[in-house]
Amino acid sequence: MAVSQQLTRLVRQRARGRCEYCCLPEAYSSIGFEIDHIVAEQHGGRSIPGNLAWACFADNHHKGPNLAGIDPRTGRRAWLFHPRRHKWERHFRWKGAVLVGRTPIGRATIAVLQINAPHRIAQRAALIAEGVFHRD
């Protein structure tokens, strides 16, 4: 089901124009951003503010309907990051332009969403150098 314009605006403003997974600023992205159903509609996730996030195309595309992934450190299953229920700082930290998972949730999310794909690290590094990618 399509998300209304009004709801899209709310989700976008709440995220302050940044991807809620990888922090990419929308203004400096060439690929566009999308509404992410955190729990996919396929799994009964609804189009309500508590189940929606603002995500870059790459993250939304790689996430698809996944709810969980594998923590590459332990090989065990872990839930994906839930931007409405989890605190970003608890699960992720920056090491330069590379996103590091602090928890199984963080590491599984980075793996499934391919947040550290080489071209994405290169893009972040360029934006950091320009002073327009904020890692706070």
Tell me which residues touch Zn ion (CB under 5 A).
19, 21-22, 24, 56, 59
Residue 21: CB minimum distance to Zn ion, A: 5
- Best CA proximity match to 11, nearest among 84, 109, 89: 84
Our CB check for Zn ion shows the closer of 81 and 104 to be 81
Region at 87 (left for phi over 0; alpha for psi -120 to 50; beta for the rest) = beta
Q: Which CB, 44 or 61, lies closer to Zn ion?
A: 61
Neighbouring C-beta atoms of residue 1, cutoff 10 Å: 7
Closest to Zn ion by CB, 19 or 78: 19
Least Cβ distance, residue 77 to Zn ion (angstroms): 22
- Shortest CB 49 distance to Zn ion, Å: 19
